[in-house]
Amino acid sequence: MPSTPTEDTLVSVVIPAYNVGNLIAQTLDSVFAQRYRNFEVVVVNDGSPDTPALEAALAPFRDRITYVEQENAGPSAARNAGIEHSRGELIAFLDGDDIWLPECLTEQVAQATADPDVAVVHADAEVIGDPTVAGMTLRQLNRSGGEASFAAIVTERYTLTTSCSVLRREWWERVGRFDPALRRSEDFDLWLRIAHAGGRFHGSERVLAQYRRHDQGTSADLELMTDAVLTVLDKCERTLDLNAIDRAAVQIARRRQLAEKRFIEGKRAFLQRDYSRARRAIQEANVVMGSRKLALVTFGLLVMPRVLSWLYDKQS
């Protein structure tokens, strides 16, 4: 069992804020409801277009937080700025629209105290805001588990949620902080660099947070995320001294992301009623994905594409 966290372990809670003026009060309420009390809070306004609403929401908390403003530079720069304005040896990340359960810091700090050599402590989170996955956790959605390693993280067999992760400051300094050139998948990049440098991760199956999942349906957003992951994979190969196992894992991850892009292209073609192009793209994607459902879809696109369109429109 983890030991009781010591009261002199200061935790710095870093919250980047961008277009969360209508949600951040709930986020901060969850922080100040923590049973573990030795923490400081740094909120970074990353050039948010809703700054008046954000500052109005922050007004009741201003004597209990450090408020930092900067021109919009993305989540990497915002988190780096928050850490630079903080003092804790442990850094707890929380996005401005997510929520912690009251035991979150108690359990995370206890585990970090029990294992001084661990680099990152994290837990599971319930998904909120998306009725299609109501009641599910991120661990369930991502089918995540097992032991953390560079290969497991890069192939997404082992995943972690930034809003429910605590990082030792020394590791943020050791591996080079968040990469400000990345506006998406910046946390994925940091976890990979920590794992490659030998940092250990401790994941708990216990749900200690609520993760707000926004609209996942637009192909443009999904394609941007896929491109961001591919950028991180390219960076890994370019900047890290990978052994044969890790290099092979990066290649597996790249094939998967390229297949995801091809699937998105196929879905876009399907919506445009270009059934021939849709079938080719989805069929190519499924060479990697190996989905029986997608195999049936490609068959349907060959023999009855208009019926598939009718069924899709009816369900949408």
Instruction: State pLDDT tens for residues 233-266.
Output: 999 999 999 999 999 999 999 999 999 999 999 9
Output the pLDDT for position 222: 82
Confidence of residue 316 (pLDDT cuts 50, 70, 90): low
| Main-chain dihedrals φ then ψ at residue 65, nearest 5 degrees | -130, 160
| Structure token digits, residue 49 | 């277009």
Nearest to 109 by CA among 163, 35, 30, 25: 35
Residue 166: exposure state from Cβ atoms within 10 A (0-12, 13-18, ≥19): buried
Is pLDDT of 154 > 90? yes
Please give the angle made by the CA atoms of 235, 240 and 244, to the nearest 5 degrees.
110
Burial code (b: 16+ CB inside 10 Å, e: under 16) for 215-244 equals eeeeeeebeebbebbbbbbebbeeebebee
The average pLDDT across 161-172 equals 95
The CATH classification of domain 11-212, taken from the options 1.25.40.10, 3.90.550.10, 3.40.50.11260, 1.20.1260.10: 3.90.550.10
Look up the pTM and report it.
0.89
The average pLDDT across 298-304 equals 85
| Residue ranges of the chain assigned to CATH 3.90.550.10 | 11-212
Q: Per-residue pLDDT tens for 64-102?
A: 999 999 999 999 999 999 999 999 999 999 999 999 999
Distance between alpha carbon 106 and the CA centroid of its chain, in Å?
Answer: 22
Output the pLDDT for position 132: 80
Output the pLDDT for position 13: 98
